[in-house]
Amino acid sequence: MMAIMSIQTPMDLIVAGFSLIIGFGFFALIASVLCSVAFFHHVKAATPISTALTSRRRR
């Protein structure tokens, strides 16, 4: 009975670790998508399309 308890604790910690990895990965995916959308929305609002796509050198 004691051997089962000593195996169960590390297994619980491993499962909890995998759950955290999956949860943080999902959070990072959502955060990166939202940040990308906000960045592109800001760039679109800040500069006209014609100046954003072409670069002109100053003379």
Domain count, the chain: 1
Q: Is the residue at 53 inside a domain?
A: no
pLDDT at residue 41, as a whole number? 87
The answer to whether residue 50 scores a pLDDT higher than 80 is no
Is the pTM value of this prediction over 0.85? no
Q: Is the residue at 21 inside a domain?
A: yes
Q: Is the residue at 55 inside a domain?
A: no
Q: Is the residue at 59 inside a domain?
A: no
pLDDT at residue 42, as a whole number? 86
Q: Is the residue at 58 inside a domain?
A: no
CA-to-CA dists, residue 50 to 7, 11, 25, 55, angstroms? 64, 58, 37, 9
Give the range of the structural domain holding residue 16, as residue numbers without chain letter. Answer: 2-46
Q: Is the residue at 56 inside a domain?
A: no
pLDDT digits (tens, 9 = 90+) for 2-43: 666 688 889 999 999 999 999 999 999 999 999 999 998 888
Answer yes or no: are the C-beta atoms of 52 and 43 closer than 8 Å.
yes
The answer to whether residue 52 scores a pLDDT higher than 60 is no
Q: Is the residue at 54 inside a domain?
A: no
The answer to whether residue 49 scores a pLDDT higher than 80 is no
